[in-house]
Amino acid sequence: MCLVGTIAAPTKRASNPPLRGSEALVGYSTTENIASGTQPDIKYSLLPGQKENPDIGSYLDFENVDNPQPIRGSTGSDDPGPRLSHNRLGIDGAGWARQENTVVMPDATDMAGVDMRLEPGGYRELHWHVAGEWSLVLNGSCRIQAVNPDGQTFVDDLTAGDVWFFPPGVPHSIQALSDGVEFLLVFDQGDFNEDNTFLATEVFLHTPKSVLSKNLGVPVSAFDNIPDDELYIFEGTPAPEDIEEQNVTTQSGVVPRTQSYSYHFSEQPAHEVAGGSVKIVDPLTFPIASNFSAAIVTVHPGGMREIHWHPTSDEWTFFIQGQGRATLFTAPDAATTFDYRAGDVGYFPQSNSHYIENTGDEDLMFVEVLQASQFTDMALGQWLASTPKQIVADTLNLSDSTLSQLKTEKQYVVAGSTSD
């Protein structure tokens, strides 16, 4: 899958960038390098009855459809996919969302995910969560807005590859810009459910109008035209091109850069290794996301993410591009192997060793998300190379020649297998 405006695989650079980016990438973009309105070219055909009123209940058979779409009547919208799964559809073709939590992955107890798409001008309505929300923009661009508990305001434009984080209880909204947007959301609760989000429309619908009137200091009649149901994902007035028009000035001021809810990860070059590349964002450079650490990993064809494990956290993995195969080893004697493609989710428990091979003919790209204050892993190769050779030889019966080829540095991604 290669889409306009998606996260691009890195190109070779003269000097290899570090694993982590600069703290200057936190909040309020200095380059304003936002997508210019080119939407992904999504080719598909709808099934007979797919545009009928959903209440009719027409049967839709997607079995032999090349690029099935999450569209039903006037709800939902197109999908860069192909990644059809159970979707929650927005109204008037404004977008869709699909989630992964313990209902479908019972072992994924620490994190849950949502893949969401908004059409140009589409909103994820004003809301807040009981869980922390970490996000990676997959393609397109959007404007995010929030107010913190001190009354400080925040607004920023993000593009493919950028990251945001909203702590629990912080109200916020997301609106797609002129090219639409698709983003990945990761929550720090495995049983998180999008249906339990606190929506502005629901707050108004479940509060007596007389109470709203008293609280907000306006007549009861001011609420005559509020929506009679939640909006969730809906079409709105396009955001002004000049973000300054949406900067709200209050006595509290704006959210300080050091506490910013966004990180312009797209502007951070990747650290390149023999079999691909890796780049990391964690609280060392993005402090507000105090327990979220992540790495975007690119694996060239034939390469693999080296055998490793995370000593302090489970790993929640979303596959962005390509196809791969992962094997998970769980002590004392269980090994399981899975095949993945773009849009799939993997989950690797804390300290369980695993690797991910690229089994396709294009770059494999995925994001590893940890619940940790710093992105760390233990690499099998580095461990063995950093242990006295006699101990390793006595344990594994490896020759001196083999041991001398092991590397004391982490490889992260290794190139294609070495043949005899």
Residues annotated as part of the active site: 368
- Structure tokens belonging to residue 145: 């807005």
Distance in angstroms (rounded) separating the CA atoms of residues 28 and 34: 12
* Tokens read off for 58: 């027409």
For residue 229, the SS3 value is coil
Contact yes or no for 213/226 (Cβ under 8 A):
no
- Of the candidates 55, 47, 90, 87, the one whose C-alpha atom is nearest the C-alpha of residue 70 is 87
Cα distance between residue 369 and residue 186, in whole Å: 8
Residue partners of 200: CB distance under 8 A and separation at least 6: 125, 126, 127, 171
Calculate the CA 28 to chain-centre distance.
20
Cβ atoms within 10 A of the Cβ of 236, count? 15
Which residues on neighbouring strands pair with residue 172, listed in sequence order?
A: 127, 146
User: What's the number of CA atoms in the CB half-sphere (13 Å) around residue 180?
Assistant: 23
- Residue 124 DSSP symbol: E
Q: In 3-state terms, what secondary structure has residue 55?
A: helix
Query: Structure tokens of 223?
Result: 């609420």
Whole-number Cα distances in Å, 280 to 61, 134, 219, 296, 307: 41, 14, 51, 7, 18
End-to-end CA, the chain: 34
